[in-house]
Amino acid sequence: MAIVLFESDSKDRFGFAALAERIADLLTTQAANRRFVFGLEGKWGSGKSSLLALTLKRLRKMDVMKAAAVEFRPWLVGDRDQLLFACSKT
């Protein structure tokens, strides 16, 4: 499953643009000088991928010294051992 990065916020079907902006700001201010993990959880169809795409779009527009976004999709990994191996490579 690919995450589609939107060309503009006009394709934001869930109205997450402002929330994505806030998350990106929080991630870059709270994560300063330390490692930080952000997880997103919700029901199927609730807009998780859309929110993630909008947030990543904003993070990638920021100074690279402020944020390094690592995308990891565990559902693409087959079993526990493969998951652990994939995590160690990230």
Tokens of 19: 């929330």
Cβ–Cβ < 8 Å for 85, 76: no
Query: What is the rounded distance in angstroms from the CA atom of residue 2 to the CA atom of residue 34?
Result: 29
List C-alpha distances in Å: 75 to 3, 19, 44, 66, 83: 13, 25, 13, 28, 9
Cβ–Cβ < 8 Å for 17, 9: yes
Residue spans of the domains in the chain: they are 9-89
Q: pLDDT, tens digit, for every residue of 43-65?
A: 988 998 889 889 988 888 887 67
Q: What residues contact 8, with CB distance under 8 A and at least 6 apart?
A: none
Percentage with pLDDT > 70 across the chain? 71
Query: What is the rounded distance in angstroms from the CA atom of residue 90 to the CA atom of residue 86?
Result: 6
Residues in the chain: 90
pLDDT confidence tier of residue 1, bands split at 50, 70 and 90: very low
